[in-house]
Amino acid sequence: MSLTRAQKLEQLQNGHSEFDIVVIGGGITGAGVAREAAGSGLRTLLVEQNDFSWGTSSRSSKMVHGGLRYLGSGQFNLTKDAVRERDRLMAEAPGLIDPLRFVMPHYRKQFPGPRLFQILLRVYDKIARTPSRQRLSPAETLQWVPGLATDNLLAASGFTDAVTDDSRLVQRVIEEAEADGALCLNYLQAESVLRDGDSAAVTGLELRDKGTEGQTFTVSTPLIINATGAWARQLQQADDSKARIRPLRGSHLVLPFNRLPVSCSVSLFHPQDRRPVFAFPWQGTTVLGTTDLDHEHSLSEEPAITREELEYLLQISDTLFPASAIIERDVIATWAGVRPVVSEQNTDGKRVKPSKENREHVVWSDNGLISIAGGKLTTFRLIAREVLERAQNQMPGFSIRDNGARVFSPPTDLERPQGISHRNWERLKGFYGPALGEILNAGSHDTIAPSDTLWAELTWAAANTGVVHLDDLLLRRTRLGLILPSGGEELLPQIRKVCQPILGWDDNLWVREQERYLGIWRASYSVPETGREAT
């Protein structure tokens, strides 16, 4: 049984406040740094101002991919790193990171044609050292993708990448860090970096607890890793780099699988702007994504899809699957995430189009404060190791753990209980690893229809994962808010009966949390109120 959030706070307040390293940011990058740091023997603290994975890392496109798109733009090293890490993650945590077949249809007079794309895939396979490239005839394409538009269809290209639950991936990495001694707290905001008056070297960090009464306290550390994504520049003492963080929003639609059944990810270039977009199966639904736009709103607010993005994404289904006649009332939920892309202006002062921005990460050092921005979900381990290698100069005698060390501990060897399907059992092993036995003992093995989520997962998460708000439980610890109609509103009485005693909330607090959750869902995860209607 892991420590509760209150117990972790008590440790910090009662003298356990000296650390070798403090990581700010509870997304995949910060979680990865904490995992590698704790695994290397460092006294590690991770703090997140909102919930774990609240930002980009619960709102991504869910792809653990090798970066075929980046290979096409000449970013060979990024592709190589991503492909190798993708394969490593699939081998270490099957069920959490799973292979997904991609099919790219080729239509007459559209770029790229099948010959050019097959050349690109041949290079991709060579980098991966695992052949997955396939050329499909129109008839074979329709076997993979029934209902696909066939007018002017020449052929299709098939290849394999991977898919995950990004929020569960972050939580699992945090759990591995905690197993190696890290202390990880959500809703704990970094207020200011403390520095020595003479040398300006980092000496500590002032923190404020957002989860309870807002009290502040300090911790001591010579090294802070600023992994706050789009917020990365805010704690930096100096800013003499030409690179700037450019927040880009990517939005998605969630549809019932029976309205748009796809067994693979179907990709194409959007007819409006030639951006790569896709439809793919995820947690019993079908997802359409993604947009790529400058995000002009406050980063402290939940991002939300716009009417224009909704229309843009519905056009994917119109183009790929015209017979399905998807309309906005079919949409179960939406999500929008903000990517912290590192941008450099052109010599004429103009910015490139969002989809043309480089996705490489950048690291800045500031006298004991190391900041990271950019990067990909797939390469979080490599980014973490790069940051710790940069930090070695400030920690004499420290050496990072072996590059071959596992990110994920293998699951406990348990027999599959009756009533849990083989497929769902594989998912559970990947999602929870060594904690799987605790899950099975936490509650009912019945699923919360129509999802594969067990009631036991919900009750275990409520007790063991630092849940502060109901949206933590329903949008990130589980994804019920994304895959159930109306965010699971009809199910809330049952969820209350099971989880309220575990969370220790009185009736008034439960009502407030339910209102908060439904308000967030309606504002940021539903369909915008006006616009395209059924015809």
Q: How far is CA 267 from CA 58, 290, 319, 514, in A?
A: 22, 11, 11, 37
Q: Which residues, 6+ apart, have CB-to-CB distance to 180 below 8 Å?
A: 35, 38, 39
Task: Give the burial class of 258: count Cβ atoms within 10 A of its Cβ; 0-12 exposed, 13-18 middle, 19 or more buried.
Answer: exposed
**Beta bridge mates, 435:** none
Q: Where are the domains of the chain?
A: 5-57+167-243+354-394, 254-334, 422-524
- Domain 5-57+167-243+354-394 listed as CATH 3.20.130.10: no
Residue with tokens 């059944």: 261
Q: Can you tell me the distance from the alpha carbon of 44 to that of 182, in angstroms, rounded to the nearest whole number?
A: 5
Residue 454 carries which side chain, given as an amino acid letter? L
In CATH, the number for domain 254-334 is 3.30.9.10
Task: Identify whether the C-beta of residue 234 lies closer than 8 Å to the C-beta of residue 228.
Answer: yes
Q: What radius of gyration do the chain's Cα atoms show?
A: 23
The two beta strands, 333-343 and 265-269, are: unpaired
Q: What is the DSSP string of 239-298?
A: ---S-EEEEEEEEEEEEETTTS--SSEEEEE-TTT--EEEEEEETTEEEEE---EE--S-
pLDDT of residue 532: 38
Measuring CA to CA, which residue among 195, 204, 170 is closest to residue 20?
A: 204
291 is written with which tokens?
């947009």
Tokens of 280: 């793919």
N-terminal to C-terminal alpha carbon distance within the chain: 53
State which CATH number among 3.40.50.720, 1.10.8.870, 3.20.20.60, 1.10.3720.10 fits the domain covering 422-524: 1.10.8.870
Distance, CA of 428 to CA of 444 (rounded, Å): 14
Contacts of 263 (CB under 8 A, 6+ apart): 101, 144, 281
Is the pTM above the cut of 0.75?
Answer: yes
Q: What is the pLDDT of residue 351?
A: 66
Tokens (6 digits) for 220: 């001591």
What is the full per-residue pLDDT of the chain (535 aa) written as tens digits? 678 999 999 988 887 799 999 999 999 999 999 999 999 999 999 999 999 999 999 999 999 988 887 787 778 888 899 999 999 999 999 999 999 999 999 999 888 899 999 999 999 999 888 889 999 999 999 999 999 999 999 999 999 999 999 999 999 999 999 999 999 999 999 999 999 988 899 999 999 999 877 788 899 999 999 999 877 766 765 554 555 788 899 999 999 999 999 999 999 888 888 888 999 999 999 999 999 889 988 888 899 999 999 999 999 999 999 999 999 999 999 999 998 887 765 545 566 666 556 557 888 888 899 999 887 899 999 999 999 999 987 888 899 999 999 999 999 899 999 999 999 999 999 999 999 999 999 999 999 999 999 999 999 999 999 999 999 999 999 999 999 999 999 999 999 999 999 999 999 999 999 999 999 999 999 999 864 343 3
Looking at residue 530, its pLDDT comes to: 67
Residues in the chain: 535
- pLDDT for the residue numbered 357: 60
Give φ, ψ of 252 to 5 degrees. -140, 155
